[in-house]
């Protein structure tokens, strides 16, 4: 029982990073009804860019690296928007999909070329802290990741529901033409959505780097897949759905691994996805 | 005016002589993109550096007594089997006399499969191209084709020696726990067929193993299993990214085995770049460390060509000198019209070798075209790999 609880709690805490990635996918989908396949790669790209802080100042504390990742994530978000959406005919659903797949590969390859594919040590905070209750433990750094992720989600929800930008974003997501007729600059809202999701992605990338302790371009593809699974299970366009689904996938993934082994783990996660697609295609929090 | 005309004539004559200078193309190939890109970069640098040294010493002597300079052309196979096969077919279509590569065992295995199996088999239409592997290390691959040769360390010998040494050096160690990257050909083979087997053969009890995948990022469950096993020795058969992830998780969970053993390929800069602090004390058997005069010189020359010296890139370096020796002893023509014959001579010359001179000493060649290279044990210390023990 202890093993089960420990495995589940580790997975749920790590699932916070999936939730952050899932939110990025779902927010863009909610606003533009398009999938940004480059999101996880841009997030990891932001995390890598955060390491430039350490290049400039070797003794920089971890939070400065995270801040660097946050800002770089925002810049990359805008770059992805400009390159893959702004000048692409959005009427064809395949065009932005393919352009973002291309961007995913491009970001990946740029990282590989700049680092020669070598894993990079990533700073963490509270990585030496372990909360204990008997044999049950909780990792301090994962709790930080969980806490930061929660703060980001709360911040994002506040932005969406308490600001004019959020109102405009929601208006565009519900009816872009009507929003435009009301004077909302749709292209600007779209660009800002990418910047906001990029900022969030930078945090997600940094949190993933911090929780693993190492960054490698190897993780962009699995993160993309996890982000998409979380988005579908949570319900396309639903932020609370992405949060719950991220934690759920993280927890269940670990439990599957405990009972069925690492080679079968992803099989069950995929089965879970298919189960949702068949029995609840709208996801946990369907907006329809 | 007359002087200018003479100068022009001399320049033209020199240019013409330069244009006629014979060259021998060596095709290098390996991963120069993707996450194992550093292997390809280092191999290319070592091949080019070695070619530069050979050329400065006069190049390769040909059958007619003239000399030819070595030219290295490197191809990227992206560590993909399909790309690798396509690359070797392209190399076959060029005037390269021999190919050196690939990086990945999952490329080497199918690639050797499209070479002619037996040289005298007229019915076999497989490629007749000598391939001299520097990096791909999975046990026993050269036996696939008589055109395949390898200069990679023998993991069986190295880990056998390592566990034997550990048994004498740490007599109170009784059991071993493994950690394996389950979906990577080399890591998997190295644990199940080499480390586990050699540990048991040397009197250790293998008390279990944890598995993870090459692009995993959460190792909490696996390390908990490792912690529960409480083994004296933990042997990790994985590449640097997951090795570092696991080592960091071991540190968090307070897993401190008496001895930590790593995979041969991890005795590189990558591991230290990712987790030098957590890798402190890790012991790895390797076929290269810059401990000899030749080794130091090779490492320095390769560094000038922007490559790092490790067991893989230095195998590429050694291959160039072995090939020079073979091309000269087999008296290849260097004539493009005699290309198939030259390739065959190189193959036969490589097959004849009983031993070669390596950077650590003499390498024995085996009947199945593999190498039995000298090796030593290195340990991660203060952000560097330092020689811990030289068993030879």
Supply the ipTM of this predicted assembly: 0.82
Which chain A residue is nearest to residue B241, measuring alpha carbons? A119
Say yes or no: do domains B2-152+291-360 and B155-286+376-389 share a fold.
yes
Q: How far apart are CA B23 and CA B57, in angstroms?
A: 14
pLDDT category at A144 given cuts 50, 70, 90 is confident
CA atoms within 13 A on the CB side of B68: 21
Q: Give the B window 188-227 contacts with A, CB below 8 Å.
A: 211-218, 220-222, 224
Judged by a CB distance cut-off of 8 A, whether residue B179 touches chain A is: no
Q: Global pTM?
A: 0.82
- pLDDT, residue B38, reads 87
Query: B149: which strand partners?
Result: B132
| Residues A254, B269: C-beta atoms closer than 8 Å | no
DSSP assignment of A51-111, as one string?
HHHHHH-TT--HHHHHHHHHHHHHHHHHHHHIIIIITS-TTSTHHHHHHHHHHHHHHHHHH
| Residues A254, B270: C-beta atoms closer than 8 Å | no
Residues in A touching B266 (Cβ below 8 Å): none
Q: Give the A window 40-99 contacts with B, CB below 8 Å.
A: none
Residues in B touching A127 (Cβ below 8 Å): 248, 252
The proportion of chain A whose per-residue pLDDT surpasses 70, expressed as a percent, equals 99
Which chain B residue is nearest to residue A140, measuring alpha carbons? B252
| Residues B38, A6: C-beta atoms closer than 8 Å | no
Average pLDDT of chain A? 90
pLDDT category at A157 given cuts 50, 70, 90 is confident
- pLDDT, residue B60, reads 97
- pLDDT, residue B243, reads 93
The domain limits of chain A are 17-227
| Residues A254, B245: C-beta atoms closer than 8 Å | no
Judged by a CB distance cut-off of 8 A, whether residue B244 touches chain A is: yes
Average pLDDT of chain B? 92
Judged by a CB distance cut-off of 8 A, whether residue A137 touches chain B is: yes
How far away is chain A from the Cα of B164, in angstroms, using its nearest Cα?
A: 31
Domain range B155-286+376-389, its CATH number among 3.40.50.2300, 3.40.50.2000, 3.40.50.150, 2.102.10.10? 3.40.50.2300
Size of interface A-B (CB pairs under 8 A): 107
Q: How far apart are CA B252 and CA B169, in angstroms?
A: 28
Judged by a CB distance cut-off of 8 A, whether residue B66 touches chain A is: no
Which chain A residue is nearest to residue B247, measuring alpha carbons? A213
- pLDDT, residue B300, reads 96
- pLDDT, residue B12, reads 52
Judged by a CB distance cut-off of 8 A, whether residue A212 touches chain B is: yes
**Facing A112 at nearest CB: one of B34, B222, B274:** B34
The domain limits of chain B are 2-152+291-360, 155-286+376-389
The proportion of chain A whose per-residue pLDDT surpasses 90, expressed as a percent, equals 56
Q: Which residue has the tokens 């070479």?
A: B115
| Residues B220, A7: C-beta atoms closer than 8 Å | yes
Residues in B touching A263 (Cβ below 8 Å): 182-183, 211, 213
Tens digits of pLDDT across chain B (392 residues): 555 555 565 555 555 444 467 999 999 999 998 778 889 999 999 999 999 999 999 999 999 999 999 999 999 999 999 999 999 999 999 999 999 999 999 999 999 999 999 998 989 999 999 999 999 988 889 999 999 999 999 999 999 999 999 999 999 999 999 999 998 888 999 999 999 999 999 999 999 999 999 889 889 889 999 999 999 999 999 988 899 999 999 998 889 999 999 999 888 888 898 899 999 999 999 999 888 999 999 999 999 999 999 999 999 999 999 999 999 999 999 999 999 999 999 999 999 999 999 999 999 999 999 999 999 999 999 999 999 998 87
Judged by a CB distance cut-off of 8 A, whether residue A121 touches chain B is: yes
How far away is chain A from the Cα of B253, in angstroms, using its nearest Cα?
A: 8
Residues in B touching A3 (Cβ below 8 Å): 224
Mutate: best of B35, B191, B268, partner A, most A CBs <10 A: B35
- pLDDT, residue B6, reads 58
How far away is chain B from the Cα of A71, in angstroms, using its nearest Cα?
A: 24
Judged by a CB distance cut-off of 8 A, whether residue B37 touches chain A is: yes
| Residues A10, B241: C-beta atoms closer than 8 Å | no
- pLDDT, residue A148, reads 85
Positive or negative, the CA dihedral A105, A110, A113, A114 is: negative
Residue in B327, B240, B235 with CA at minimum distance from that of residue B283: B235
- pLDDT, residue B143, reads 94
- pLDDT, residue B263, reads 94
| Residues A118, B34: C-beta atoms closer than 8 Å | no
Mutate: best of A205, A213, A263, partner B, most B CBs <10 A: A213
**Facing B215 at nearest CB: one of A137, A219, A254:** A219
Read off the pLDDT of each residue in A245-259 and give the average, rounded to a whole number. Answer: 94
Query: Which are the contacts of A189, defined by CB distance < 8 A and separation ≥ 6?
Result: A31, A165, A168, A169, A172, A179
**Facing B274 at nearest CB: one of A3, A121, A261:** A121
DSSP assignment of chain A, as one string?
-HHHHHHHHHHHHHHHHHHHHHHHHHHHHHHHS---TTHHHHHHHHHHHHHHHHHH-TT--HHHHHHHHHHHHHHHHHHHHIIIIITS-TTSTHHHHHHHHHHHHHHHHHHHHHHTT--EE---SSTT-EEEETTEEEEHHHHHHHHHHHHHHHHHHHHHHHSHHHHHHHHHHH-HHHHHHTT--HHHHHHHHHHHHHHHHHHHHHHHHHHHSEE-GGGHHHHHHHHHHHHHHH-TT-HHHHHHHHHHHHHHHHHHHHHH-HHHHHHHHHHHHHHHHHH-TT-TT---
Residue in A243, A89, A19, A122 with CA at minimum distance from that of residue B241: A122
pLDDT of A280 > 60? The answer is yes
Residues in B touching A208 (Cβ below 8 Å): 217
A169 or B179, which is more confident?
A: B179
Residues in B touching A117 (Cβ below 8 Å): 34-38
Quote the CATH superfamily of domain B2-152+291-360.
Answer: Response regulator (3.40.50.2300)
């Amino acid at each position: 029982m202890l093993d089960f609880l420990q495995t589940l709690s580790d997975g749920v805490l790590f699932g916070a990073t999936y939730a952050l990635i899932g939110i990025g996918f779902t927010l863009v989908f909610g606003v533009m009804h398009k999938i940004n396949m480059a999101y996880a790669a841009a997030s990891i790209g932001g995390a890598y860019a955060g390491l430039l802080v350490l290049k400039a100042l070797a003794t920089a504390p971890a939070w400065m690296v995270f801040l660097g990742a946050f800002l770089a994530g925002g810049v990359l978000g805008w770059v992805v928007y400009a390159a893959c959406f702004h000048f692409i005919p959005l009427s064809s659903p395949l065009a932005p999909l393919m352009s973002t797949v291309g961007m995913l590969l491009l970001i990946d390859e740029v990282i590989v070329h700049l680092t020669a594919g070598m894993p990079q040590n990533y700073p963490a905070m509270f990585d030496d802290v372990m909360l204990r209750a008997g044999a049950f433990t909780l990792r301090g750094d994962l709790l930080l990741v969980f806490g930061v992720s929660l703060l980001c989600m709360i911040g994002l929800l506040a932005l969406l529901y308490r600001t004019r930008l959020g109102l405009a974003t929601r208006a565009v997501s519900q009816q872009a033409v009507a929003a435009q007729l009301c004077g909302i600059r749709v292209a600007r809202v779209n660009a800002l959505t990418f910047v906001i999701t990029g900022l969030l992605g930078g945090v997600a990338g940094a949190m993933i780097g911090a929780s693993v302790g190492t960054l490698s371009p190897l993780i962009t593809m699995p993160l993309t897949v996890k982000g998409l699974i979380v988005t579908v299970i949570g319900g396309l366009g639903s932020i609370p759905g992405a949060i719950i689904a991220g934690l759920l996938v993280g927890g269940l993934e670990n439990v599957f691994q405990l009972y069925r082994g690492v080679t079968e783990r992803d099989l069950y996660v995929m089965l879970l996805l298919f189960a949702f697609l068949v029995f609840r295609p709208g996801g946990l929090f369907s907006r329809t | 005016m007359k002087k200018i005309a003479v100068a022009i004539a001399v320049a033209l004559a020199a240019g013409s002589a330069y244009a006629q200078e014979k060259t021998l193309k060596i095709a290098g190939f390996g991963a120069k993109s993707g996450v194992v890109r550093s292997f390809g970069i280092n191999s290319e640098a070592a091949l080019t550096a070695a070619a530069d040294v050979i050329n400065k010493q006069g190049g390769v002597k040909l059958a007619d007594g003239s000399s030819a300079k070595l030219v290295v052309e490197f191809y990227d196979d992206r560590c993909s089997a399909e790309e690798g096969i396509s690359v070797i077919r392209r190399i076959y279509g060029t005037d390269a006399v021999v190919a050196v590569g690939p990086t990945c065992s999952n490329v080497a295995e199918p690639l050797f499969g499209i070479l002619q199996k037996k040289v005298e088999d007229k019915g076999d239409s497989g490629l007749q191209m000598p391939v001299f592997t520097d990096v791909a290390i999975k046990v026993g691959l050269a036996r696939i084709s008589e055109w395949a040769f390898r200069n990679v360390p023998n993991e069986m010998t190295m880990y056998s020696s390592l566990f034997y040494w550990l048994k004498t050096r740490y007599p109170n160690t009784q059991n071993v726990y493994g950690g394996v990257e389950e979906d990577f050909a080399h890591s998997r083979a190295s644990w199940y067929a080499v480390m586990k087997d050699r540990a048991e053969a040397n009197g250790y009890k293998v008390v279990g193993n944890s598995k993870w995948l090459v692009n995993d990022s959460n190792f909490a469950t696996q390390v908990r299993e490792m912690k529960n096993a409480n083994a004296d020795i933990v042997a990790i058969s994985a590449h640097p990214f997951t090795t570092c992830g696991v080592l960091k998780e071991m540190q968090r969970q307070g897993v401190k085995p008496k001895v930590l053993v790593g995979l041969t390929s991890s005795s590189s800069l990558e591991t230290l770049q990712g987790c030098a602090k957590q890798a402190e004390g890790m012991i790895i058997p390797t076929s290269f460390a810059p401990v000899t005069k030749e080794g130091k010189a090779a490492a320095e020359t390769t560094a000038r060509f922007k490559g790092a010296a490790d067991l893989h890139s230095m195998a590429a370096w050694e291959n160039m000198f072995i090939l020079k020796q073979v091309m000269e002893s087999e008296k290849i023509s260097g004539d493009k019209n005699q290309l198939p014959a030259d390739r065959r001579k190189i193959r036969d010359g490589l097959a004849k070798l009983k031993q070669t001179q390596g950077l650590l000493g003499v390498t024995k060649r085996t009947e199945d075209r593999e190498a039995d290279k000298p090796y030593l044990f290195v340990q991660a210390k203060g952000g560097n790999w330092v020689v811990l023990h030289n068993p030879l």
